[in-house]
Amino acid sequence: MSASLASATRSTLAGLLAAGALIGAAAVPAAADDHRHDHRGSHSSIVIGDVETADRGHDNRALNREWVEVRNTGRHSVDLRGFTLTDKEGNRYRFNGFRLDGKSSVRVHTGNGRDTDHDVYQGRRHRVWDERDTATLRDNRGNVIDTESWGRRGHRHGH
């Protein structure tokens, strides 16, 4: 190979490597940003939303005014089968075969009722959520997906 051909080949190769480095550098921030938002794995769109605790009463109506909302902020539906919602005392609700559509939510009520696409019921006879409590949502492998705590007022709106 002549010296000029080798020089041209090296120059072309250097140009290609530089172009590849530029493309790679441009792609890194996007990939890093995606990773930052996906710190909870494939369930990153599932979060605890609003929380409402019952002020008084243990009748079914009062118990159903007590709920924790689980939201899907993503576009795709997520199967919540095996997911659990617990309080700080260890009371646990387990989702059985429930699919949460994208951009929607479900309220997990304490009392009894008929499950729908937007409301499910734990079937309990006593309050679960105290004025100062913590709700923890875990996936079907026991990994913590989201945690929400609240204080004196007994309810928290928004996320």
- 151 falls in which pLDDT band (50, 70, 90)? confident
Alpha-carbon gap, residue 4 to 13, rounded angstroms: 14
Whether the predicted pLDDT of 45 surpasses 50: yes
* pTM score, whole prediction: 0.70
- 140 falls in which pLDDT band (50, 70, 90)? very high
What is the average pLDDT value for the chain, to the nearest integer?
Answer: 79
- Cα–Cα–Cα angle for 91, 93, 95, rounded to 5 degrees: 165
The string of pLDDT tens digits covering residues 91-134 is 999 999 999 999 999 999 999 999 999 999 999 999 999 889 99
Whether the predicted pLDDT of 18 surpasses 60: no
| CA neighbor of 140 nearest in space, from 83, 78, 63, 75 | 83
What is the mean predicted confidence (pLDDT) over 79-88? 98
What is the mean predicted confidence (pLDDT) over 7-28? 47
